[in-house]
Amino acid sequence: MIYYTGFENKTFGKIFLAKTEKGLCIVTLRQTLENFIQHLQQRFDLEITQNDQQLAPIVQQLNEYFKRRRKEFQIVIDWDCIVSSFDRKVLQKLVHVPFGQRISYQGLAQLVGKPKAARAVGNALGRNPMPIIIPCHRVVRKDGGIGGYSAGIEIKCKLLELESYQSTS
């Protein structure tokens, strides 16, 4: 069973979440409900049902984060939803980068034991199924530039600004 919900944030727009019995598996920004449901159907061979109550604690934590009242999430993640072992390793290291901090793609590559794999790390971040919760917005270029973001650079900049990081580029 996959449970999902959606909510609106005035800065970040519509946000959809989905979870399995094991934990959170999807967070999307800038997507329609129809596209979100289609994505769930393509990715999971499970029954999909809306359940706002099931996801209410996660929505509450995200809203607290958006109001700068929460710096760490207390959310169980279904790591089995991340198919690639390399992606899982990258994202599991990334959850330990604290609120307001940043790390370079190269620095994250070093943390996972692949110091020459900065590009592969960037690709893994582009496949991050749970942005914000797994904070790929905190990863920047080693020269201090913003780098990419699956939901768009403007969203990444807003998230960094929310965490009080001011870009120099």
In which residue are the tokens 């999430």 written?
Answer: 73
Among residues 25, 81, 136, 157, the one annotated as catalytic is 136
- How far from each other are the two terminal CA atoms of the chain, in whole angstroms? 44
Cα angle at 126 between 120 and 131, to 5 degrees? 130
Q: Exposure pattern of 100-119 as b/e (b: 16+ CB <10 Å)?
A: eebbbbbbbbbbbeeeebbe
* DSSP bridge partners of 49: 3
- Say whether 136 is catalytic: yes
Residue-wise over 19-29: b if at least 16 C-beta within 10 A, else e? bbeeebbbbbb
Q: Tokens for 69, please give them.
A: 């009242």
CA pair distance 27, 67, nearest whole angstrom:
18
Active site residues: 136
